[in-house]
A and B are shown apart, each in its own frame.
Chain A
Amino acid sequence: MTFLAPWYLLGAAAVAGATLVLHLLVTRLPPGMPWPTARFVPQGPAAVRRLHRRPVHPWVLLARLVAVLAVGAAFAGPVLAGGRSPRVRVVVADRSRAVGDSRAVIDSVRTLDGRGPVVPLAALVLLDDSSRVVTGPAITDSLERLRIGERRGRISAGLIAGIRAAARWRDRADSIELVVVSPLRADEIDAATDSIRARWPGAIRLVRVAPRADPAGAGATVRWPDDGHPPTAVARATVDTVGGLIAGSIVVIAPFVRRWALDAPGARVVARWVDGAPAAVERPVGRDGCVRDVAVALPTTGDVGVRPEVRRLVAALTATPCGAAIGAPAGGDPTTGMVGTSATAGTIRAAAARALEPASAASRSPLAAWLLAVGAASLLAESWLRRGAATPAT
């Protein structure tokens, strides 16, 4: 048996201790006795307060203690599930091309405990563009044989697999720790990552490993002439001026002269004008390469070219790897939304995991109701015993 909220049990124990002390602390009037020389006794308070070594009314005390402890145990959420672990860990290990060294991932997983208590590894989620969940004795072998592949990593898929694996352990563990071991590069995060992350009610422990040291813009061929006329662009019917450009989270507000239009069906739009027209597209070439056409003619007059957002735009369009989102997400650090702000330092209660799936019969233990009934019966018995006591106590 375990308790979901053991601090209620500790509180009940404290209240029981206080009840015991108050019971033993008896204030009573001494018995009256004829005393001819009473006039020589000085005036003073007649009540005597003393701490008895033995309870005056042991059955009343027993009823009170049983009531307090039973109610406290009921509020503590007793669960009659045998073999529960106090804490288990689900690790999402990144083996995509974003990882620089597989040993870093393996060592990070092995050293998660640090100097703290050893937490058993319940599931290992191997992450690249798909996820594979490994449980049981195979975890050790899978971790040992972890190799970095050339597939793109998708954090969303790993989170889904990890949350599902954690949900399967909710009835067998009091606390589940979800750990993500990944460099967490921007190209591994997509639009669904935040909403999937929000399904995990606690915090996620993030262990970042070194990313693969790719040269800037590796695999991407950027075609960005000065006049903004890449080969795939066609002349617009009318030259116009547009007030801004959006690339990911980078927004540049400036008077751009728009002479060319990009006609790239099937290509990924990586930058758009403020009216929605594509300003830069990316087209895959070969296995991992791509061609990125940018139809933006930067103003040659004024200070537009030296403005920070323009410099960031240029860096993002020229250095972002193929397939990666242009521009950093809001806040700059992709781990901000991942880790969360739980005060429990990366752990959540199994009760939180229950929100992910319907509760099973094991969690609906009738013990709490029985304990409340015992507490109520003890209170009734205490009232009856107290009335039957010969002398009032406390």
Chain B
Amino acid sequence: MAFTPERVTGETPERRAAARLDGLAWNASGVVGGSAALLTAVGPLLDGLRGVRWLVRRRVPSGVPGAHQSRRRGTAVEFTEYRPYRQGDDPKGLDWKLLARTDRAYLRLTDDHAVSPTTILLDASASMAFPAPTLDKWRAALALALGLSAVAHAAGDPVALAVAAPTTAVRLPPRTRRGVVADVAASLSGVVPGASPSLVDALPDPRPGGGGRLVVISDFLGVPTDAGDASLLARAAVAVAAGTEVVAVHVVAREELDPSGPAIVATDPEDPSIRRPLLPAVRATYVAAFAAWRDAVRADWQRAGASYVMVVTDESVERAVRRIARGA
């Protein structure tokens, strides 16, 4: 039997169409039908992501018990290993029975598990509302945000949301309770991409103790690369240094990668002064320049210590979430 992605992931064309939120429509106040419509549309995607584990790649600081391995040797009942006692160790960790039998002082070590607060930073700038009739980039970004929220919430992690929206930044504090995904959907259903909001301004303050996870979902077209310490990359680098796992999810439309339509005058929605003719004769040059820029963006994020994942709009969102969860 031939290999097909459907056999591996269980995807069907219907599920892929649902994951792309094909049934949604937008008006000036957001998704037509509100969060209920958004949740209904994203339902098949959440069903497909059930059971997906999204473990952090670095040990998390100690805290509320969770699914991620903590940097602290904890007091859990699950034995891991012995270690000879050193001066200064807490005597409570001594294995008294072993000391009584062998007269050797050993500490009984156990792994500590903690939660990893996950913050999703979503770019809602005008460049995400592309292509104009279908808003495929924004649909993909919404599906990714909801899917990652659901996966993180399934692991018991607190999920926070920050949206760089055109009017006012949308923020949802970290929550672990039931219904977090619905809260995220409710917050996102009222957002209409537009203008050129700053991702840095929407970025929540770092946790005092570091750790956690920050997922930036954006096309990075409005992110300046030479803004010094105030740039998103600089903030990401600081967060990485503080122990936060940063994931840059680059959303790219298929039309941006392969503009095969008729000749147009391309206008930058975030900077109307940029008006250039996208003719068949210059498409090769455009494709090469765009590819070079994507490579530079990936290198920048990786240099800052972040993970970089590019998601094209015609890719299955479910598969993209699994890729992100695997760290690929």
CB < 8 Å neighbour of B282 from A31, A32, A44: A44
CB-CB < 8 A to A43: which residues of B? 276
Asked if residues A38 and B279 are in contact (CB atoms below 8 Å), the reply is no
Interface presence of B268 (CB below 8 A) = yes
Q: B219 at interface (Cβ–Cβ under 8 A)?
A: yes
In the assembly, what is the distance between CA of A343 and CA of B271, in Å?
72
Question: What 0/1 pattern do residues 26 to 38 of A give for CB contact below 8 A with B?
Answer: 0001111111111
Mostly, the A contact residues are loop
Indicate if the CB atoms of B262 and A36 lie closer than 8 Å: no
A34 and B269 contact, CB distance less than 8 A: yes
Residue in chain B with minimal CB distance to A34: B269
A42 and B276 form a contact (CB under 8 A): yes
| Residue on B nearest A39 in the bound complex, by CB | B274
The reply to whether A38 and B285 contact each other, CB–CB distance below 8 Å, is no
Contact in complex: B278, A48 (CB < 8 Å)? no
**Residues in B whose Cβ lies below 8 Å from that of A36:** 126-128, 130, 137, 219, 221, 253, 256, 268-270
Given contacts A36-B127, A41-B286, contact A29 B265 (CB under 8 A): yes
B264 touches A31 (CB 8 A): yes
B contact residues, range? 20 to 34
| Residue of B with least CB distance to A48 | B263
B132 lies within 8 A of A37 (CB): no
Q: Residue of B at shortest CB range from A30?
A: B263
Contacts of A41 in B (CB 8 A): 266, 276-278, 282, 285-286, 289
**Does B79 lie at the interface of the complex (its beta carbon under 8 Å from any beta carbon of A)?**
no
B275 at the interface (CB under 8 A from A): yes
The answer, among A33, A40, A44, for a CB contact under 8 Å with B267, is A33
User: What is the minimal beta-carbon distance from B286 to any residue of chain A, in angstroms?
Assistant: 5
* B82 at the A interface (CB under 8 A): no
Residues of chain A with a CB closer than 8 A to B219's CB: 36
Partner-A contacts on B (CB < 8 A): 126-130, 132, 137, 219, 221, 253, 256, 259, 262-271, 274-279, 282, 285-286, 289-290, 293
Residues of A within 8 A of B (CB): 29-46, 48
With A30-B263, A32-B275 known, 17 other A-B pairs at CB within 8 A are: A29-B265, A30-B278, A31-B265, A33-B265, A35-B130, A35-B256, A35-B264, A35-B269, A36-B268, A37-B221, A38-B274, A40-B290, A41-B277, A41-B289, A42-B276, A42-B289, A48-B263
